[in-house]
Each structure stands twice: as C-alpha cells, then as structure tokens.
Structure 1
Amino acid sequence: MLRLRSSILAHLLSSSSASPNNPSLRHLLSATAAPRISPNPSFAVGDYLVDTCGLTRAQALKASVKLSHLKSPSKPDAVLAFLAGLGLSSADVAALVARDPKFICARVDKTLSSRFAELTGLGLSRPDTARLLWLAPRPFRSSTIVSGVQYYLHLFGSCENLFRTLKYGSHLLTADLERVVMPNVAFLQERGLIDCDIAKLCVNVPRMLATNPERVRAMVACAEGLGVPRSSGMLRYALQAVAFLGEKEIAARVDYLKKTFRFSDAEVSIAVSRSPFMLRRSKESLQLKSDFLISEVGLEPAYIARFPAMINYNLDGRVRPRYYVVKFLKKNGLLDRDWKFSTIFKVSEKVFVEKFICPHKEAAPHLAQDYAAACRGEVAARLIFA
C-alpha cells in the first residue's frame, strides 16, 4: 500500500497539470485526510521521506527526529497532494520538506488552504503565493503571515522585492511586527532612509528589521560614527558595512585600512565616510589593491582617500587591465587628454571601450584583443612593457 501511495504521489508531483480542481487530486486529498485511518504499524517515517518526498538518506535521518510522532502517511499524503496542486515540482517539494519537515504534518483543510486563500485575497497571484510558501514554509503555517505580507508589500513595493529578501531567510515573517519591525522601520525613516532604501538594505542585511530595536539603534550610531551624515544616501551603505560588527572589530578594520593604505587619521576618516563598504573587504584584497595602486600605479594615499571607490573595484578584472591600456596609450601618444585614474576606473565598461579602445583600432589593432585577454588575467607583454 505504501509503495502504491508513493507512486501515485510521485506521479502527481511530477505532473505539470496537477491542480486543486483535478478529480484525482480531490479524491486523494479526501482519502488521505480521512480521520478514520488508523496508525499504520508498518509505516516508517525515514522510508517515507526518501521514497515519497524525495529526500536523501542523510536528510531523512535528520528530518525524522522532528517527525517521531508521525504514525501514518495520512496527513503527509494530503500535504504532498496540495503542493502538487500548486505546481511545485518534486525537487521543490524535497527541498521544502528538508528545510521544514513539520510542514508535512500541517492540516490542509484548516491551515494550508485557508492561508493560501487569505494571501491570494491580498492580491498575490497563485504562482506568487506558491513561491512564498516555498520560501517560507514555517511562517506560512502561521496566521500572522497575512498581516506581515500585507505590511511588507506596502514597504517594499512589490512581491519581487520581498522575495529577494526571503531568499536569505524568513526572519522578517517570524519577527514581531508591532514590537520589532515597525519600530525599526520608523527609526530608519527618521534617519532619512526612504522605503526603497530600507528594502535594499534588507536584501543585503535580511536580519536588520527583525533585530532588537536597541541593537539597530547601536548599528546606526556606529554608521554615523564613521562620519556618514544623517539623511545621507550613503547611510544605507554604512549600515550594510557595520551591521552586526562590534565597535572593537570596526575600530580594528579602520586601523588596518589606515596602515595598509598609509592613510593619516584625517584621510582614513574621509575614505571610510565616502566608501564605508571597504570595511567588509578582506585583508588580502586590501593589501593587493594597496600594492597595486600605491606601488605600481603611483597614487598618493591622499588621492585614494578622496576617491576610495576604486578600492572596491575588481582588481584583476577591471582596475589592472584598464591601467595597462591607458599606460600603453600614453606611452604611444594616443591620448588626447590627461585622464584621472579615478575616472578611468569608475566609468562603465561600455564607456571605457568607447573612449579608450574603439578610437585606436587603426593605430593599435591589437588593443581590443589585448584588453579582453587582460580582463581574463592574461596580460600581454606589450601592455606591461609599453
């Protein structure tokens, strides 16, 4: 019987035509949800998770601990049929169950179907609601998800923005809306962040709004302590940089920047306030960029401090190849003006090619090829020794 049920469910999960209106699906839902089914002495949770839900043996072993009370496939069968009706693939179902094993114990009639109807009632499409279920299965079982989703849709402006945040965890949908989230949003708004800033902040720091308000205030104080003005567009980036870092760790990173780039106290303050995300760069990355910008390009620390964004650019895929191209053009008298390195490194790839590659096709026919190779890490000798 278990093998027969597994094969039926596997067919439903792999069928793209499965829907709640499918007669076979309705029959399976009613059959598997019937309370008259008694515990099955031969039912093994681990085998069910592998054979019917598609989990690996290791995943099933871990999930079984949370399902030791399960004595019958009745509820799980109904849940799997419900998920198939929403269009979730067998791989989606396996991933969902692995993340939240208790989901297969939910009541379809009183919980899942009701929640689905409430969320589509907010204006979510069926596919969006199914995606929300997959991203946040645990919160989906709670009635509080409805008010939460309604609030976040208004704050973030779209389902897609909310989903981008939920990809990194469902913290937002499990946090207390009135005691935690709303006070955090209000405080960030007081500091000049508008709703789209807060949405972008949440994508990069998903736990921000779900964190204790006192801690969020401390993070904002640290960000402002870097010299980023209140109501500045840079505040969001500063918050991303210092989020969940202690004051000692922030001080240590600022000190490393100062030593690595030979900044004075004033220069490191200017650099960090203009490009706070430098604080998130690895020591190895910072050292390599310092060696190149100061030792090879010959830039002064004061210049780098004024234009610190160049520290965040990709060294091998952007900064180094562009430097070699410009050096080649200067050496061969092909530049009509003296370009600042801050501009050379900053412009988009399209603009760089238009300004520094295309005009020299005749004078330097190999330049485009050499530049492309340099971006791949294969620097031609004629660029280096030009």
Structure 2
Amino acid sequence: MIRHLRSRVLSLLRFPSHLPAAHLAPLHSLLSTTASIPPKSFSVKDFLVTDCGLTREQAIKTTKRVSYPTSLSRPTAALAFLSARGVPRSAIAAAVAADPRILSASVGRVLAPRFAELTEIGLSPSQIVDILTIRRTASLRGNLLFWIQTLGTYHKILVLAKCNCDLLRASLDKVIKPNLNTLRECGVSASDIAGGGRYSSRLFTVKREVLMGAIARVEQLGVERGSGVFPRALAALSFLSKDILDGKIQLLRKLGFSQDELVMILKKAPQVLALSEKKIQRAVEFLMRDVSLQAPYIARRPALIMYSLEKRLMPRHSLLEVLRHKGLLGVEWDYFTIAVMTEKKFVHKFVDPYKSSFPGLADDYASACLGKA
C-alpha cells in the first residue's frame, strides 16, 4: 500500500511524458529564469558603517580594499565572534579600517584558534585584534612570546611590527636570534635598535650579508663598535647605500667642513647623514649665512642641522632679530642654547615678556612657526 502510494506521488511530480515540446518549453524557461535570479543584493559600505562602526569616509576607503563576498555570512560571523570575545566596537572599527581582510577570516580555522593561543600569553582582546591585522602566521605565538621577553612591552612590539611585519613571521632560530647575536657582538642591544628609528627594526630580520654590510659601512665612517654612538649610527645609516653616504659627505665638504669636522659630526650625530641632501644644504647655508655661524661651531653641535628649519630655527632667529632691532634684547644668547630650548621655555623667555611693549609679537611668532609668515 505504502509502496503504491509513493509510486503514485512520484508519477505526479514528474513531467508528463505525453506533453509536446511546445508545452514544455515555457516551463523549462521559467525554471531557468528562476535559477538565475541573483541573491538579494547588499552594500559592503553600509555594512562597514552600520555593523562595524566605521565612519562614512573610512568605509569608502576600506571598500576599495575589500574583495566583494557573495554574501555577508562570513563577515557577520567574524564580527559576531569579535564582539562575543569582548572586543570594543571602536577597536573592531580600527582593525577593519586597518585590514578589512579580518572580516573574511574563518572563525573556526583562524579567529578562534588565534584568540585561544594569544589569550594564553596574556594579550587582551583588543591587543589580539591589533596583532591579527598585522600578521596571521603559524609562527605568531612563538615570535610574540620571544619579543615580549626581549623588549618587555607589548606596545613597543606593536609599533615595530607595523613597520616590519617580518618581526612576527621570520624564523627565530635561522634569522632573528643570529642577527641579535651579531648585533650584541657590536655592543648593540635589541632595545638600542628598537628605539633607533621607524625602520631600524628591519635589522632584526634582514639577511646576514645585509646586516654585515650595514655594520661595515658604519665602521668605514669612523664610528667604532662598542661606542655609545654606534647603535644610533647603525639604526640611522644601515639601509643607505655607499654611494648615497659618499654623496652626503661630499656635500658637507663643499659646504665648508674639514675632514676633522666631518669626523666630529659623524661621531656626535651620524643621523645627519640620514637627512636628505636638500635638508642638509638648506640648514647649513641658513646657519652660516643668516646666523653667521662658522663650520667648527656647527660641527661641535651637529644637532643644529637636524632641527626643523621652518618650524624652529628660522622663527626663533627672526624673533630675536626683531627684539634686537627694537633694543629689547638686553643680553646676547648663544644660538645653540636658543635652538635647544623647549618651545614652552622659549616662549616664556622671549615672547611673553614683550607682549605689552610689542603688540602682535606672539601672533606673528606663532604664524612663523606654522610657516605662514
């Protein structure tokens, strides 16, 4: 009985075999059309604003970096996972703006395992999201633990990793530890390099021949291993070619510095050679021509070359010239003393006391520091 009923139902569901092709065509056409109807459309931009918390401007920029999914199922799942793990909405928005690929990460294969292992080493949900926007590799946990032990603070690691993502993926045994050993032989610690500049952390992950070449270039400039200035010189000059360094040394010679004065500059502030030739030339010409400083004076105080010409050196010199012309500057100050003052102290000594006798002085000086006068 049941078998007979099943057979009867199936026969009713089948197309009648006796129908002519003309009658079947419209039906096949209808089924074909229905199958090709696309799923309900959605707006990635609206999702980024409404669900992820991005601003409209951020969403427009981020949408350009999103490979459009066929549905929002995976982004919605990723977002729900992050929220459930206690990641603040602001941190989610910042992470998505930094790397929208986090929304396409599989919860089961990527997000859940990463959160589990990184929570074990003490990272907060917000810190984990920050790290995941930089790198998602198998070596992540091991490298993070190593750098936390080596450098001490998570924030420092995050800053370095944003400049050098290889920090969290390069082999500890084959690359990072050998490079650190080489640096220690030169009297350079990991902290020296970490605090030496935005890109200096690449010294931790470069090929050995690149690191040895950088060390050799610094030594050729007369900076000795083990000296206090060697770490700063290595951080500043390691990725400049020999031709570029030679060109900047030749420029300093043309500007009037003797060989002894060049050596003095390199030993006191090798970072000068990391500046552009245009910056070096404009600063030195201003100091010699407008301030009337001599090469030996500048060589003993090479930090003068590194200060901002537009925002510090020129505005302060111009203000002192005005005060001197008005007879308001009672004592002549050493220029380097003037240049190294904090902005707050400079204003307190040379702007505030003359506000009443020289109306507009403060506004004029502020405008000059902004490059408007």
| TM-score band w.r.t. shorter chain | 0.7 to 0.9
1:365 deviates by 4.5
Aligned partner of 1:93 in structure 2 is 96
Counterpart AA for 1:226: L
Aligned partner of 2:351 in structure 1 is 357
Distance 1:173 1:182, change over 3 A: same
Distance 1:4 1:347, change over 3 A: same
Partner of 1:117, secondary structure, is: helix
Aligned partner of 1:225 in structure 2 is 220
Of structures 1 and 2, the larger Rg is shown by: 2
Aligned partner of 2:179 in structure 1 is 184
Distance 1:73 1:251, change over 3 A: same
Identity of aligned residues (%): 33
Aligned partner of 1:125 in structure 2 is 124
Distance 1:133 1:53, change over 3 A: farther
The farther-off stretch of 147-156 and 235-244 is: 235-244
Aligned partner of 2:312 in structure 1 is 318
Give the distance between the partners of 1:216 and 1:342, measured in 2 at CA.
Answer: 36
Structure 2 counterpart of 1:286, from 280, 286, 296: 280
1:75 deviates by 6.1
CA RMSD of aligned residues (A): 3.4
Distance 1:80 1:6, change over 3 A: farther
Q: Report how many residues are paired.
A: 326
The farther-off stretch of 297-306 and 201-210 is: 201-210
1:343 deviates by 1.4
Aligned partner of 2:34 in structure 1 is none
Aligned partner of 2:51 in structure 1 is 14
Structure scoring higher RCO (CA < 8 A, sep ≥ 6) equals 1
1:336 deviates by 4.3
Give the distance between the partners of 1:83 and 1:114, measured in 2 at CA.
Answer: 13
Give the gaps of 5 or more residues in structure 2.
Answer: 1-37, 54-58
The farther-off stretch of 179-188 and 198-207 is: 198-207
Aligned partner of 1:309 in structure 2 is 303
Give the distance between the partners of 1:12 and 1:255, measured in 2 at CA.
Answer: 54
Are 2:335 and 1:341 aligned?
yes
1:366 deviates by 4.2
Give the distance between the partners of 2:310 and 2:352, measured in 1 at CA.
Answer: 21
Do the aligned partners of 1:10 and 1:90 also contact (CA within 8 Å) in 2?
no
Distance 1:73 1:368, change over 3 A: closer
Aligned partner of 1:254 in structure 2 is 249
Partner of 2:225, secondary structure, is: coil
TM-score of the superposition, structure 2-length normalised?
0.75
1:95 deviates by 4.7
1:340 deviates by 1.4
Give the distance between the partners of 1:293 and 1:94, measured in 2 at CA.
Answer: 44
1:255 deviates by 1.1
Are 2:167 and 1:172 aligned?
yes
Q: Deviations over 1:48-79 (max 9, x none)?
A: xxxx99964x645xx58xxxxx9998766644
